[in-house]
Amino acid sequence: MKARVIYNPVSGKEIMKQSLADILDVLELAGYEASAFATTVEKYSAKNEARRAALAGFDLIVAAGGDGTINEVVNGIAGLTTRPKMAIIPAGTTNDYARALKIPRDNVRQAAEVILQGDSIKMDIGQANERYFINIAAGGYLTELTYEVPSELKSIFGYLAYLVKGAEMLPRVKPIDVHLEYEEGIYDGPASMFFLGLTNSVGGLEQIAPDAKLDDGKFSLIIVKTANLFEMLHLVAMVFNGGRHINDPRVIYTKTNFLKVVDKESEKPMMINLDGEYGGDAPMTFTNHHQHIEFFANVHDIADEALMDPIYEESSRAFINEVEELTDEDIDEDGKINGK
């Protein structure tokens, strides 16, 4: 059997470059003839190498890097009739996909040793027009904060950087007039965002789509109808407080294997976020490819109850307490909290 490691040499302060020998050693122990490819600054470097390796008959492709590297590798093989198995070794900021597959995120060798266990799961993969995604697709003003968080803040603070930036952006959020078609019906009206999830881990949080399944052929669809700052803050608090937002009347929460999105605004097109990066503009059609790519994973741990990492618990609890004490009088006429 042949394995190809596609690694980002600058991910995680160059940890992949430093740990490559360990990764190749584990693959040899697992019975693979292993080789490696370092991604370059060339556009679609990882995607092109993944497609080449798959067509060359490699049995396993190991994506070593952040969620962006994994996304590129998936885009290289998802459109092929015959697709190799995949394994992931995380070295990004939030490592959502590794979190969903219960892959160790702080030890490269331990992440690689998941392959030695031999357990795997056939994962659903999303398609947005011609592109594929592994974790989330979203659109609307709320999703635009992912483009505005500086990369250095992502690297240092991870999820907390998104939280701070999101709070800063909330006063600017306004609804967009959309037409959304999905399995259970049609939504025509204002929405501050729509969100499609393939896993339960988004930006380090496991409460946004708390009952997401990895291999059932369904997206978790969330449509946030309100753009009122006071209501938005309470919805965010409900996310942190056990994922209770999914039962709120200001939110549509359902399961669907497709979504068609039409932005009825004329001023500017709705930007679509795919796995944390800009993925094009609406209109867009999303399709769930059921159990499309097989990944090595800690399968026995995936069924565990999704819990927030302890690193986030204290800040999230403080946020919930502050929001619960807010009243409409705390929001000024500019839509800011106490003039801040």
Helices (H), 56-207: 67-77, 96-100, 108-112, 114-117, 145-148, 151-157, 159-169
What is the chain's Cα-based Rg? 20
Percent of the chain at pLDDT > 70 equals 69
Burial 160-179 (b: 16+ CB within 10 A, else e): bbbbebbbeebbebebbebe
Cis amide leading into 283 (omega within 30): yes
pLDDT score recorded for residue 234: 66
Q: Is the pLDDT of residue 332 over 60?
A: no
What is the pLDDT averaged over residues 297-304?
78
Question: 């490696």: which residue's tokens?
Answer: 36
Return the number of other C-beta atoms located less than 10 Å from residue 63's C-beta: 30
Q: CA–CA separation, 158 vs 320, rounded Å?
A: 20
Cα–Cα distance between 22 and 101 in angstroms, integer?
Answer: 21
Asked whether residue 249 carries a pLDDT value surpassing 80, the answer given is no
Q: Express each pLDDT in 68-94 by its tens digit.
A: 899 999 999 999 999 999 999 998 667
Residues 179-203 have a mean pLDDT of 87
The pLDDT of residue 147: 57
The DSSP-derived string for 242-307 is TSGGGG-TTEEEEEESEEEEEE--SSSPPEEEETTEEEEESSEEEEEEEEEEEEE--HHHHTSPP-
- Contact call for residues 280 and 128 (beta carbons, < 8 A): yes
Q: Which amino acid is at 283?
A: P
pLDDT for 104 beyond 90: yes
Q: What is the pLDDT of residue 273?
A: 87
User: Looking at residue 306, what is its pLDDT?
Assistant: 34
Q: How much is the pLDDT for 15?
A: 81
Burial class (CB in 10 A: 0-12, 13-18, 19+), 4: buried
What whole-number distance in Å separates Cα of residue 238 and Cα of residue 248?
A: 9
134's CB contacts (< 8 A; 6+ apart) are 67, 70, 71, 74, 97, 123, 125, 126, 198, 199, 275
**Residue 192's CB: how many other CB atoms inside 10 A?**
23
pLDDT at residue 250, as a whole number: 81
d(CA 223, CA 118): 38
174 pLDDT band, cuts 50/70/90, is confident
Q: Does position 205 have pLDDT exceeding 80, yes or no?
A: no
How does DSSP assign 115-130, residue by residue?
HHH--EEEEEEEEETT
Mean pLDDT of the chain: 81
Alpha-carbon distance of 76 to 83, in angstroms, equals: 10
pLDDT average, residue stretch 109-129: 96
Q: Which amino acid is at 175?
A: P
Tell me if 269 sits within 8 A of 276, measured CB to CB.
Answer: no
Mean pLDDT, to the nearest integer, of 228-232?
Answer: 65
Kindly list the distances between the CA atom of residue 131 and the CA atoms of 125, 149, 194, 273, 278, in Å, as whole numbers in the listed order.
Answer: 11, 24, 18, 11, 11
- Copy the structure tokens of residue 267: 């001023």
Residues with active-site annotation: 277
Distance CA 58, CA 39 (A): 18
Q: What pLDDT is recorded for position 133? A: 96
11 vs 112, more confident? 112
